């Protein structure tokens, strides 16, 4: 099965609603590696790495988000594969990595 590395940016009401924690749980459930973090502009950024079908499942979930969120936009793009051994919650960042 082919691996996919996807950068995801989610905007809307996505901070303060457990979005990162639920993203981590979904990623771990699907065996997806990478990270998720808040951006200071109010968006959430994630890097998803794993089997394409599993990465796409997490991406689809992120486009909906948890119950308390209100996702307005979910943008994703394929990026060069990074090396990650788990799925981590990172510190906030002032700008997107990709």
Q: Mind telling me the catalytic residues?
A: 20, 38
Q: Do 5 and 58 meet the contact criterion of CB atoms below 8 Å apart? A: no
């Amino acid at each position: 099965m082919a691996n996919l590395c996807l950068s995801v940016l989610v905007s809307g009401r996505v901070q303060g609603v457990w979005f990162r924690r639920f993203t981590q749980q979904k990623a771990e459930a699907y065996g997806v590696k990478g990270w998720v973090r808040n951006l200071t502009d109010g968006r959430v950024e994630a890097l998803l790495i794993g089997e394409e079908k599993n990465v796409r499942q997490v991406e689809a979930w992120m486009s909906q988000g948890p119950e308390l969120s209100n996702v307005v936009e979910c943008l994703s793009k394929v990026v060069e594969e990074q090396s990650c051994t788990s799925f981590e919650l990172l510190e906030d960042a002032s700008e997107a990595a990709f």
